[in-house]
Structure 1
């Protein structure tokens, strides 16, 4: 069940990433969720604050592609490994590790991302 919730959640995240639609972003998170774009950053806390932070740091639609695979999915905790390609000239590729906690409704209660740029090829 968590694997299905996770897939649905990540699909929704990618959709929101490419739309920057406030409602699509907000639907991903519980009311009191925390969202960190890097492990030691001060989190955005609460759905509205998350939407605002997301839009401050947004990527433009179609600017990225994202591939991912689950590493752990158990008891509401999911860890995924991803690769983000930014379609710049030249392109930039990032390795991602996301730690996601989902509630019973499939909304994220905690999100933390680790990312690092891959060497240019």
Structure 2
């Protein structure tokens, strides 16, 4: 979708269009190493979906781990493609923390 948008948090500017979204994710992923990612069970409605996520990443320069957890909220077009992608997350610097067993259920 040419007008698809990715929003990181509620206050930042949206990355609008496929090229802008791809450029953002290319830059973001280049600053991360050895990701380990967990996803919760998605919640899906007619034109929306949401899923929780948890990850441990490492700084490519120092190897220092980081833990982050958050939620993705998607709005879907009639053809099933994502038109709006909102991500909310929290991070813990300089530590690797796996999700609890309760989180995984």
Question: Do both proteins adopt the same fold according to a TM-score greater than 0.5, normalized to the shorter chain?
Answer: yes
Aligned to 1:116: 90
The one-character-per-residue Cα deviations of 1:31-58 (angstroms, maximum 9, x if unpaired) are 2101012221100111122112222323
How many residue pairs match? The answer is: 92
Partner SS for 1:57: helix
The one-character-per-residue Cα deviations of 1:2-46 (angstroms, maximum 9, x if unpaired) are xxxxxxxxxxxxxxxxxxxxxxxxxxxx22101012221100111
Q: 1:86 to 1:45 in 2, by over 3 A?
A: same
- Partners of 1:58 and 1:80 lie apart in 2 by 20
TM-score w.r.t. structure 2 length?
Answer: 0.71
Partner SS for 2:53: strand
Structure 2 unaligned blocks of 5 or more: 98-105
Structure 1 unaligned blocks of 5 or more: 1-29
Aligned to 1:7: none
Aligned to 2:29: 58
Aligned to 1:73: 44
**Mapping of residues 28-107 of structure 1, within 5 Å:** 30-59=1-30, 63-88=34-59, 89-107=63-81
Which structure has the larger Rg? 2
Greater per-residue helix proportion: 1
**1:104 Cα deviation from its structure 2 partner:** 3.6
CA RMSD of aligned residues (A): 2.3
